[in-house]
Chain A
């Protein structure tokens, strides 16, 4: 759980949702969204913000969880914010999603090649190297990123920096990832 996680009202029948929000790219818009989650006691599992093809609009991708009633309230409350242009719950849509992690792993001459094999299997990249560490860039679904982290854990992970999930609705159902 991330430090952003707050207590949910009804964790019992909760499931994970990916919600995409387009907001006016204005001073304070991000804080309004984040503040809404903390004020109402909703969970944020991850949040990512960035510009879009239109300079005046930002996209936030929020991964949250809750039961249907809570998710319905979250979407309604997000829509209620004056700066919100559009809220889409991507959970029930075909979507493409990516998560990125930079993982700094401790290495020895004995473990280095094994780590590099794991990196290869996950189609990740080594982006920095030092006598005692390797830094791996892993991109993929959050499950894939979770999996490579799990595989690297036995070698001692020194640091992880991870983005939140970003996602878009798929345009063509049959497309191969």
Chain B
């Protein structure tokens, strides 16, 4: 029997178990891949999955990995990611991933097994109130209390997760509810009287925005992840080109606008480029597009872009004026709004303004000194040069993440995948598993520090089992680098619990069954990257990098642009650093 291929009406109305109905509902939703981990409460679902060829089930090595994989899949593909886990510990292990998806507005649906209804609340074996636990970190969640509501709940879950401001939705499935039998009929349409995301931008507001833009002398686009979520990169490019307004992006906005374009200023914020931050600070009109004025972008909110009239385009009304007071709010889908705004705006005379920005780029480019020992910046820059922006870069959290944002030239939307809002170490490796199922046409590069890689290192086994062509780059400095940097700069260099050892990564790669090698000299970097990209299937490369190195520019948390620190002069003049001799100054700027 191949139930997955059946689609005759008679088959559709045949009585089925809830397990079968569940699987068929996923097929109806167009789900191609599910990341999960079986267990007692979902064993019936796994039995139903066994016969299905339309859905690939990917067995991760930890439920947290399954959720990050679903996120990576969603971010790379634009589709909704799906994770399936058992009750109790299976469910609680998903929490970090769900919280991560909530912070970064990632559309995923997490299905958790649950103990039978009559045992709920009894402290049954592997019971956890996962609906209660995840209520504050999901866009919405459901407990399916009878089989009759299973299909409509699944339909709603996918709808809620993927529309409006996307986010994670959890559906809890008691074992006995799915054990029943009923006719299968998947709802064709959905209507929720309490949930109707506002998509269309208000014309009056658009007119106000266009008028502000027309008068602007020093405008800046501040582009966030919402632009990519709305698949609005084309619309953004058009409006930027038409208006000649320079672009600063957030971490999640990277790739929405090609960074080799002269109008690109790279990332803004705490570790943003000097020129992007300076431009934002001096601008007279700030056009926020699918961004939420996060504290890592604004620093002290009162001091952020103090002279600018602020236009804010966002689908989430609650994001508007939440942190920074906004002058012209436009609630709506970014794609829709930009499309409507395009014919309403005229080219701006930004010649003088762009000249200022070019000067800031020349005076304060991103820079570091290359010596014998590898700087992380150099690895990232080389990776950018070799891939030419045609790769999915999945970074983890910490210094390497900021250097990736700074030194990689992102060209396309959905090529930069990282954990921004929650800052989840251990995100990259499992997320790259998901990305590998979303895109098979470009290399998938997972970049982690030696801290983060050890948080979900078990997913190396998943990568090997499914022969995923993930290139695992470990930038090993033997420290929790970002915390060390803060301790150096703000805690009198008292290094508390930041020095760490790890396994022999090359041997570990071999043990897991993938090729691995390491590089420790700058001259080896380019070859190591090329070799990894040329190696079919998974490969691990450990870059042994300079131990103590700091990400600049930076401003201290909660401070303002005025406190922004660039690379210290003594470092550039070669006094500091581990190998002051024969160092070469590298400068890099976006656009």
Contacts and interface: CB of A to CB of B under 8 A. Distances in A.
Contacts of A31: 132, 135
A32 B135 contact: yes
Interface in B153-211: 160, 192-195
A32 B143 CA distance: 14
B441 to A, nearest CB: 36
Contacts of B135: 28, 31-32, 35
Contacts of B192: 82
A28 B131 contact: yes
A103 to B, nearest CB: 35
A87 to B, nearest CB: 11
B292 to A, nearest CB: 13
Contacts of B145: 27
B194 A82 contact: yes
A80 B160 CA distance: 12
A76 B317 CA distance: 7
A39 B318 contact: no
A83 B321 CA distance: 24
Given A27-B143, A27-B145, A85-B193, A80 B132 contact: no
A24 interface: yes
B484 interface: no
A22 to B, nearest CB: 9
A72 interface: yes
Contacts of A39: 136
Contacts of A85: 193-194
Interface in B102-141: 131-132, 135-136, 139-140
B235 interface: no
A72 B316 CA distance: 13
B318 A77 contact: yes
B238 interface: no
Given A28-B135, A35-B136, A84-B194, A73 B316 contact: no
A69 interface: yes
Contacts of B50: none
Contacts of B322: 73
Given A35-B135, A82-B160, A82-B194, A72 B140 contact: no
Given A24-B194, A27-B145, A28-B131, A82 B321 contact: no
Interface in A23-50: 23-24, 27-28, 31-32, 35-36, 39
Given A28-B135, A82-B194, 15 more contacts: A27-B145, A32-B135, A35-B135, A39-B136, A73-B322, A76-B317, A80-B316, A82-B139, A82-B140, A82-B160, A83-B140, A83-B194, A84-B194, A85-B193, A85-B194
